[in-house]
Amino acid sequence: MFKMKGQAKKLSVVSSFILVAASILIVISLFFPWWKMVFVAPQYPEGLNIIVYPNKLAGEIDIVNGLNHYIGMANFSEKNFPELSYLPYLVGGLAALTLLTALLRKKSVLYGLIGLFVIGGGLGVFDLMHALKKFGTNLDPHAPIKMDPFVPPILGHNTVANFQTDSLLGLGTYLVIAAFILLLIPLWKDRK
């Protein structure tokens, strides 16, 4: 039979529950690390970590800062990353918008939400790239150990002096990626 104009663009109840699950994953991601760097050297075979949560830094920050002092790198601290003061609110807002989308069940709102995810993810990657470039290329020329500027990778392996460094995504990022995948399922499921 004929469908009314508004009904054709509505998401199913199952899709709405999928969006609720995505919202829950986004909230849970706030309690887990989103990114980390692991530094291994002969004098630190167990490795040193910088662990980035949406609202704080963790790991052996003081030891890493002490070592970075020798090459003239700025200290890693929460005051050097103002994003940590407002990122939890942005992520919480995204979770709330995802829940609102589940309640409204409109495809047009879902498209907008997916757009926000893509823009937010892109800005997050750009921000992290910018921070890594700033820390690796603005080395103090009066530092005890002279070395060429460098940019640590967002993901992957790097060698700085005698340190082997691995940059990895944390569980929180995987939860957000899973939430994003859940957002795409209703577009396929309710495509008619």
Helix (H) or strand (E) holding 165: strand 163-169
CA distance 125 to 153: 11
Q: Going residue by residue through the chain (192 aa), what tens digit of pLDDT does each one get?
A: 344 454 457 999 999 999 999 999 999 999 999 999 999 999 999 999 999 999 999 999 999 999 988 999 999 998 889 999 999 999 999 999 999 999 999 999 999 999 999 999 999 999 999 999 998 999 999 999 988 888 989 999 999 888 899 999 999 999 999 999 999 999 888 776
Q: How many CB atoms lie within 10 A of CB 158?
A: 17
Q: What is the pLDDT of residue 54?
A: 96
Place of tokens 């940590």: 84
CB 2 within 8 A of CB 156: no
Q: What is the DSSP-derived secondary structure letter of residue 79?
A: G
CA distance 68 to 72: 6
Q: What is the pLDDT of residue 161?
A: 81
CA distance 68 to 47: 15
Phi, psi of 188 (to 5 degrees): -75, -45
Q: What is the pLDDT of residue 120?
A: 95
CB 51 within 8 A of CB 39: no
Helix (H) or strand (E) holding 49: strand 44-52
Helix (H) or strand (E) holding 189: helix 171-189
Q: What is the pLDDT of residue 105?
A: 95
